[in-house]
Amino acid sequence: MKIYLFDVDGTLTLARQPMPKDFAEFFVKFCEGKEIYLSTGSDFEKLVEQVPYNVLRACRGAFTCSGNVYHAWRDDIALLEICEDLNYRNDFEPPPELLPDLRCLLESSDCPVKTSNHIEERTGMINFSVVGRDCTQEQREEYAAWDKENGEREKIVSVLRKKYADLTFNIGGQISIDISPVGCDKSRSIPYLRKWHPGCSIHFYGDKMQPGGNDYPVLKELRERDTHEDVESYKHTWKLLDDKPEDGGKYAMSNIRELIAEVNPDALLADGLNEAIVGYGGQHPMIPVAVYDYDKCVEIFMRDNDWDWEGAIEWMEFNVVQAYLGPGTPIFMNKIDDDWDVTPYGEQKK
């Protein structure tokens, strides 16, 4: 059985915006005959502002407050209300120094615009925003651009992690930081899904899967049979879902492996790196081999082994890239972007 789990902001909607009507109609059809769950850092009240009733009704349930609250449909109620499961609920009493520290960070911030509602206490977590959750959409976009340039949220998270080892600090959405006890984040939903659906495989879609993002903790709970899609927007999600027939689709990560086997049954695959496969390629007259995203492989090693970037790079270079196992050996591809620096062949990537 396949279980689909979707982040909301940036995956099914624009940040804090309602789900587009045409995409909502498509998504309802996609949900037919499938087990669909939602996962969001927002509380349930904000979720229903973004996701229309017909979409919620097409889903089995929703994990809100970064996985600390669960709402599910109660079919025994005449109006088919969606109700909170109090057995799942996970409350959180923040350390006494945390709120004063957040206020101090707020006051010392160089952010050009500050509105209100900076510290929002939700079930099981705290949501902290320097610009404030009462900002306008324009102010939200401006802060997101300013934060991308100045890295304020990453700096705040780095400071807080050093002081509060028992808490997790994950960057979420465009303007905020999610704070919760270790293990009480979006990953909390995965063991429950496995309990409710024994033997299932989980397929997760999110837009904040980089280390420090609030979708990243989910990746640590995924297994070999599971997959995840790191999306850029709801339009990207739409394309991925639209490209898939009910069997998971030809572009699903799990099926890319089967496609490579069809073009070259002797192509070798790197253990534990299936989600980093981007396709296949080679030089004439050589037969095609699997092609991996180099940086994605490094991220997987960091995630699965709790290594830092340098440790993961060292392992990648000496134990993966330089391991030639014959003509079926995979290719490890480096993408070119604005920050790309050429590393001479044989030297360790920085």
The catalytic residue positions are 7, 9
E strand or H helix at 217, and its extent? helix 216-219
Residue with the two structure tokens 């099926």: 255
DSSP string for 100-168? HHHHHHHHH---S---S--EEEETTEEEE-SS-TT--HHHHHHHHHHHHHH-HHHHHHHHHHHH-TTEE
Q: Are strands 61-64 and 277-281 parallel, antiparallel or unpaired?
A: unpaired
Of the candidates 50, 44, 69, the residue with the CA atom closest to the CA atom of residue 11: 50
φ and ψ of 92, to 5 deg: -145, 125
φ and ψ of 233, to 5 deg: -170, 175
Which two structure tokens, joined as six digits, stand for 94? 């923040």
- How far is 204 from 328, CA to CA, in rounded Å? 30
- How far is 37 from 72, CA to CA, in rounded Å? 9
Neighbours of 16 (CB within 10 A): 19
Task: Give the list of residues 6+ apart from residue 211 with CB closer than 8 angstroms, or none.
Answer: 299, 302, 303
- How far is 309 from 339, CA to CA, in rounded Å? 16
Of the candidates 166, 165, 167, 226, the residue with the CA atom closest to the CA atom of residue 191: 226
Neighbours of 230 (CB within 10 A): 19
Neighbours of 145 (CB within 10 A): 11
